[in-house]
Chains A and B, each alone.
Chain A
């Protein structure tokens, strides 16, 4: 790349050019001021020669041509080094002017990533920064150590009106106007002088001027004198004035208030003058000087001998005290001469010559430790390398060397370092090394005051973006740093600009800390600049900063409210992030033919309700297809909208979450709805287009209409609440349409802290998938568009007295209250309950004095429920026929409640009703109620029934009660057997069981009863006293017994029986028990409102415990008197057999006369003996498991067996020795037996055996049983009485 074409190349060509010092007399300035500018300004447009085309020959003999040339004109008074404060002041003014000219564009959209990457450098970095850079560089012009700012020529100007212009010319140069550097000796006073006589044509004729000019020529020489006549414009001669002034306008030095007095001739004269000055005077002068100096340098410094000499000479100066900027050099010193030579060569673009001189010089300065000069020379050699486009490495190292050396020198050369850095950075940029350039900029920014540093950082950030690949993060970071510094130097607009440009770096990423900082500061600065709208917009972005600490959140929020209040107008913010709305949680509850008692019903799946209502609702098809089917309009059918009824609220549940740790007050939460009687086709696009509008920030009038609602069409509910830190609340919003039409639920709005209105549209597309859990209901998106139909009757219902918690066994009377809220009547009310085990509807005529209505009433014997077991299985209950509920009426119906099992019980009740008058095709509605209640465990009752060994039809019952309740005590009231077949009684030995009437929490107890099978026993004596009920409570009389055969106890019993039969598979059921108890000291009394709680526990399908499936008992006389003298004694006996199993059993009874072998079966016999000796009462169950104990006493066995083994048995069985019969389940049979006794005595008739086979499910399970002991005492009878048995 041609260095000349780069920015830096052009910059150097413009900035490092010969300086021309101008000294004028005051009258000259007066003449120029007529046009509104100074003399220098007048010449300025003509000091640049784009195509000068001058041949130049410097040190070498090879001439070359200069194409472009420029002279820098300065007044002598300005050729001085600016002090720091003045420079700062100047730069400040420059920035101010630049700001005025190019105010930053703060209201447009901040740039995006894609656009930022495609921008060129000039777009990225504002042009005024370049201008500023130039100004910054210019502040260090005219330094002593650099000679390219030293004037090459001097123009002395006097006016023709001046008196004695010749002496004026003399005085001008000798006056103290001359620059201080010249006086100090740093500058060469021997410079090219040019004498100009300025003639104002308006003042006088040219004759006077001509004479003075002639005199000048005589005094100063012919070539160095010029005359310029200006202000030749006559009155009325103002044609093409604008074109004429164009050069001045381009330089921006035209003052519009002044009238221009120059005409074309004047300007041409000036142009010619400048051209002549450059080509004929300055350039030849410089060539001349270069040649002279070059010769001089060659003579003294070039060559080996000179170098050695120089080195030695320098070494000798080591003891010179080291000044901060090295020794001072005058213009006549050889170093300064070399420097001038280099600079002149540079200005005439003989870079080779310049470079060789700079290199020569740099070693000298280095040895002299003149660091500032050394740095300056290094800088220039770096630039020379660049302009030669040679050795990039050398160029960079020179620049770096210069930069660091300037820094080393300290504050005096700080600005030089900046200039060097700027050039260096430009050099790197010209070669595409943007990343290196940016690091140079950052290094400059260290050395500069904050505002300059900000600009340097901004340039650095641009370089990061321009580097390939772009380093976006560094770009952002440096912009943030720059913005920070802009802010500190009170340039808020630029701070905003920098931050805004950085926004896109942090936007997509989750670097939220940085993003928050950027947005917040932009917001604040906008706020302080008064652009509150934009400020609010930025602060809004970071409101929901859940990751920040609480003070920071507070700060953001306060700032936000502050802006909103200062803005003083209503803000409607779409998608306000406070509070966050959980769209996936949102739910629409609307009632068509299905109505709900509360929102809880809506959570139950539709299919559950559908199953429940299956039998109740007229036809299955009616629920599958919409009622709209009956309508002739097919268009409506196509848009299968949900239905709602005018006057009935549609509820929308929305979850609001506060992401902050600060509580936020939210008020006036309501829905945004639109009700229209539009045709359905237009509706289809309605809601989506609205939300699309909002997405692009458009705020139409429709939004205001939506937000404010329309009272004539629908009512909106409004909620106020305060969300605590991190809290989530569910809000139920209602809209009640008043007229028919199409209701669209568009969104939700709310007011945050009474100042900001936020709103959000429900996004149909996104919610569609998330709400799949609603099952077969209409597609969720369509839930938001509802067809409102004319008001129809509606029943409201509730169940009074239903507890949330109940004990197991709790029996209560509840009442179902139904209210018709409309004016029309409804009829044909039916009800279905999913859980008839828990809820049974009563009868309207029922005695409602519970539990007195259950008391046993002997006087009024009611008919027994006998075979209505299946009545309630269907659970469909129709209220009395013709039971129409008129408008505004209510009625109640008793419902019995009983909890069977502990755990959570879900009760679903659906009530069906029909309209008295048909409304628009909707002929019926259903009211759905759903209750969930917790059933706590209370008494756990279990029964163990064992057969009584003495009586076949009596059983012993052990009742085990465990109180599982945590703190509740229960008093036992009554134990009843269900049905007439059983009588229950206490055991004679323990009649007093009052000690067990109260069961404490956690207590377990057992008590024993006897039950008697009344089957076949018809009204035997005393059986009436043993009824099927037994009172356990002592304080009650017989009348306080409850009749378990009354409804609802018997109904619930059948339900329990139905459910418990599943559990008791396999064993044969014998009877059911009902235990009635009351809760004592109930915790739930107050809640339930009862004095005491009535609990009934149902234990069904109790069966006899025992491992044998056959029970038997030998019967017959125990004592027989017989006259053995006549005959042997024959005694009739019998065995009663009972089948205890649930299967048919084949039984064989066999008797044997011999004593069983001891070795074969010792246990059986010994058992009998031990029973004989140990057992007293004898009613306890004989179990074979006791034999271990007996085995340990072999003596007993011996005692028993001795007589039997030695002698013949004293009795023999007569009759058939084996009988076989088949027994059906629960049947009894009697087997007759006969025994012959040969001698009086007491005999144990246990030597018989039962063998049976139980036919269970195809298998035959065999079993055996030894005879129970039966003692027969035969006594010798007196001879006189002969009585056969």
Chain B
């Protein structure tokens, strides 16, 4: 804890969810059941949440994998990360090599989470929140590639209305499988 501040120093634009989480949430959890306590840290090396956000920054899909009822918190995390994505995408100093790069990399680190982003050509954003603090970029990259494929298949469904929430069960199952496969590959 002594070097907490130094950690923060290295991440000038970090959003400190730590303080958001460390405050007792008794008031929220009594009022709104979807505010949960601290996530179970025994579930290391796992993806906490994946989200698909449309090009108008509207949520298309948000799935939590913590099992606890923390939708609101994850909504906030994902929602805030959109600011960072906007910033990255609109940064005029982007070099040519990164201009066509879909993978946006680490959006912001927090004490307990890392948030990664991915932007498709149709300006649909994928956001992944993980508790694994030393995850490799290559793994995240391949995760997003698989996730993108699943998303493309889901929106190719003729019954999917573009711009509306993705309600496909098979997409959920597939995403679940991708997320589960993410953890073990890291431990190998």
A residues touching B (Cβ–Cβ < 8 Å)? 400, 403-404, 407-408, 435-436, 439, 442-443, 445-446, 450, 453, 464, 469, 471-474, 476-477, 480-481, 484-485, 487-488, 509-511, 513-514, 517, 520-521, 524, 548-549, 551-552, 555
Nearest B residue to A408 via CB reads: B2
Cβ-defined partner of A435 (8 Å) among B2, B13, B18, B27 = B13
Residues of A within 8 A of B12 (CB): 436, 439
Add 17 more A-B contacts to A484-B23, A511-B58 (CB < 8 A): A404-B6, A404-B9, A442-B15, A442-B19, A446-B19, A469-B90, A473-B79, A473-B80, A473-B82, A477-B15, A481-B19, A488-B27, A514-B72, A517-B34, A521-B31, A524-B31, A552-B34
Shortest distance in angstroms between A404's beta carbon and chain B's nearest beta carbon? Answer: 4
Q: Is B32 an interface residue (CB 8 A)?
A: yes
Residues of A within 8 A of B58 (CB): 509-511
Cβ-defined partner of A488 (8 Å) among B2, B8, B23, B32 = B23
- Of the candidates B4, B58, B76, the one having the most CB atoms from chain A within 10 angstroms of its own CB is B76
B27 touches A549 (CB 8 A): no
Given A436-B12, A453-B19, also A514-B5 (CB < 8 A): no
Shortest distance in angstroms between A556's beta carbon and chain B's nearest beta carbon? Answer: 10
Q: Is B87 an interface residue (CB 8 A)?
A: yes
Nearest B residue to A470 via CB reads: B83
Shortest distance in angstroms between B78's beta carbon and chain A's nearest beta carbon? Answer: 9
Q: Is B146 an interface residue (CB 8 A)?
A: no
Q: In the docked arrangement, what's the CA distance between A453 and B19, Å?
A: 10
Give 7 CB contacts A-B under 8 Å: A400-B9, A436-B12, A473-B83, A484-B27, A485-B23, A511-B59, A555-B32
Q: In the docked arrangement, what's the CA distance between A588 and B82, Å?
A: 47
Shortest distance in angstroms between B70's beta carbon and chain A's nearest beta carbon? Answer: 11
Q: In the docked arrangement, what's the CA distance between A472 and B76, Å?
A: 12
Q: Is B135 an interface residue (CB 8 A)?
A: no
Cβ-defined partner of A477 (8 Å) among B14, B23, B76 = B76
Q: In the docked arrangement, what's the CA distance between A524 and B30, Å?
A: 13
A481 touches B20 (CB 8 A): yes
Residues of B within 8 A of A445 (CB): 16, 19
Which residues B103-152 have CB closer than 8 A to chain A? none
A549 touches B33 (CB 8 A): yes
Which residues B6-56 have CB closer than 8 A to chain A? 6, 8-9, 12-16, 18-20, 23, 27-28, 31-35, 56
How many chain B residues touch A (CB < 8 A): the figure is: 37
Given A445-B19, A485-B23, also A404-B5 (CB < 8 A): yes
Given A474-B15, A488-B23, also A517-B82 (CB < 8 A): no
Shortest distance in angstroms between B48's beta carbon and chain A's nearest beta carbon? Answer: 16
Q: In the docked arrangement, what's the CA distance between A777 and B166, Å?
A: 39
- Of the candidates A469, A471, A473, A551, the one having the most CB atoms from chain B within 10 angstroms of its own CB is A473
Residues of A within 8 A of B178 (CB): none
Cβ-defined partner of A442 (8 Å) among B16, B27, B33, B87 = B16
Q: Is B71 an interface residue (CB 8 A)?
A: yes
Q: In the docked arrangement, what's the CA distance between A1093 and B82, Å?
A: 73
Residues of B within 8 A of A487 (CB): 27
Q: Is B174 an interface residue (CB 8 A)?
A: no
Nearest B residue to A400 via CB reads: B9
Residues of A within 8 A of B79 (CB): 473, 476-477, 511, 514
A446 touches B57 (CB 8 A): no
Q: In the docked arrangement, what's the CA distance between A551 and B5, Å?
A: 40
Residues of B within 8 A of A476 (CB): 79
B residues touching A (Cβ–Cβ < 8 Å)? 2, 4-6, 8-9, 12-16, 18-20, 23, 27-28, 31-35, 56-59, 71-72, 75-76, 79-80, 82-83, 86-87, 90
Shortest distance in angstroms between A596's beta carbon and chain B's nearest beta carbon? Answer: 37
Shortest distance in angstroms between A224's beta carbon and chain B's nearest beta carbon? Answer: 48
Residues of A within 8 A of B16 (CB): 439, 442-443, 445-446
Shortest distance in angstroms between B76's beta carbon and chain A's nearest beta carbon? Answer: 6
Given A408-B5, A443-B5, A513-B71, also A471-B33 (CB < 8 A): no
Q: In the docked arrangement, what's the CA distance between A488 and B2, Å?
A: 27
B59 touches A510 (CB 8 A): yes
Q: In the docked arrangement, what's the CA distance between A484 and B90, Å?
A: 32
A474 touches B80 (CB 8 A): yes
Q: In the docked arrangement, what's the CA distance between A552 and B33, Å?
A: 7
Residues of A within 8 A of B75 (CB): 511, 513-514
Cβ-defined partner of A403 (8 Å) among B5, B33, B35 = B5
Cβ-defined partner of A520 (8 Å) among B4, B8, B31, B86 = B31
B14 touches A439 (CB 8 A): yes
Residues of B within 8 A of A464 (CB): 83
Given A408-B2, A510-B59, also A471-B87 (CB < 8 A): yes
Shortest distance in angstroms between A1190's beta carbon and chain B's nearest beta carbon? Answer: 63
Nearest A residue to B7 via CB reads: A404
Nearest A residue to B69 via CB reads: A549
Residues of A within 8 A of B27 (CB): 484, 487-488
B28 touches A443 (CB 8 A): no
Q: In the docked arrangement, what's the CA distance between A511 and B58, Å?
A: 7
Shortest distance in angstroms between A859's beta carbon and chain B's nearest beta carbon? Answer: 71
Residues of B within 8 A of A514 (CB): 72, 75-76, 79
Q: In the docked arrangement, what's the CA distance between A704 and B12, Å?
A: 58
Given A408-B2, A472-B83, A473-B79, also A552-B32 (CB < 8 A): yes
Shortest distance in angstroms between A394's beta carbon and chain B's nearest beta carbon? Answer: 16
Q: In the docked arrangement, what's the CA distance between A552 and B4, Å?
A: 37
Q: In the docked arrangement, what's the CA distance between A635 and B89, Å?
A: 62
Residues of B within 8 A of A473 (CB): 79-80, 82-83
Q: In the docked arrangement, what's the CA distance between A442 and B57, Å?
A: 25
Nearest A residue to B78 via CB reads: A511
Residues of A within 8 A of B6 (CB): 404
Shortest distance in angstroms between B129's beta carbon and chain A's nearest beta carbon? Answer: 15
Cβ-defined partner of A471 (8 Å) among B2, B28, B56, B83 = B83
Q: In the docked arrangement, what's the CA distance between A471 and B87, Å?
A: 9
Q: In the docked arrangement, what's the CA distance between A439 and B19, Å?
A: 12
Given A474-B15, A521-B31, A552-B33, also A450-B23 (CB < 8 A): yes
Cβ-defined partner of A480 (8 Å) among B4, B13, B18, B76 = B76
Given A484-B23, A484-B28, A552-B32, also A477-B80 (CB < 8 A): yes
Residues of B within 8 A of A513 (CB): 34, 71-72, 75
Nearest B residue to A443 via CB reads: B8
Q: In the docked arrangement, what's the CA distance between A436 and B9, Å?
A: 11
Residues of B within 8 A of A524 (CB): 31
The 8 closest A-B pairs by CB, nearest first: A407-B5, A471-B83, A404-B5, A473-B83, A510-B58, A446-B19, A513-B75, A477-B80
Shortest distance in angstroms between B12's beta carbon and chain A's nearest beta carbon? Answer: 6
Q: In the docked arrangement, what's the CA distance between A443 and B86, Å?
A: 23
Shortest distance in angstroms between A1047's beta carbon and chain B's nearest beta carbon? Answer: 55
Residues of A within 8 A of B90 (CB): 469
Nearest B residue to A487 via CB reads: B27
Shortest distance in angstroms between A432's beta carbon and chain B's nearest beta carbon? Answer: 15
Residues of B within 8 A of A548 (CB): 34
B57 touches A509 (CB 8 A): yes
Residues of A within 8 A of B57 (CB): 509
Shortest distance in angstroms between A117's beta carbon and chain B's nearest beta carbon? Answer: 15
Q: In the docked arrangement, what's the CA distance between A404 and B12, Å?
A: 13
Q: In the docked arrangement, what's the CA distance between A511 and B77, Å?
A: 12
Nearest A residue to B81 via CB reads: A473
Cβ-defined partner of A474 (8 Å) among B20, B31, B71, B83 = B83
Residues of A within 8 A of B18 (CB): 446
Residues of A within 8 A of B72 (CB): 513-514, 517
Residues of B within 8 A of A400 (CB): 9
Residues of A within 8 A of B8 (CB): 443
Given A469-B86, A487-B27, also A439-B76 (CB < 8 A): no
Shortest distance in angstroms between B4's beta carbon and chain A's nearest beta carbon? Answer: 8
Q: In the docked arrangement, what's the CA distance between A404 and B3, Å?
A: 9
Residues of A within 8 A of B5 (CB): 403-404, 407-408, 443
Shortest distance in angstroms between A304's beta carbon and chain B's nearest beta carbon? Answer: 33
Cβ-defined partner of A439 (8 Å) among B13, B28, B86 = B13
Q: In the docked arrangement, what's the CA distance between A474 and B16, Å?
A: 11
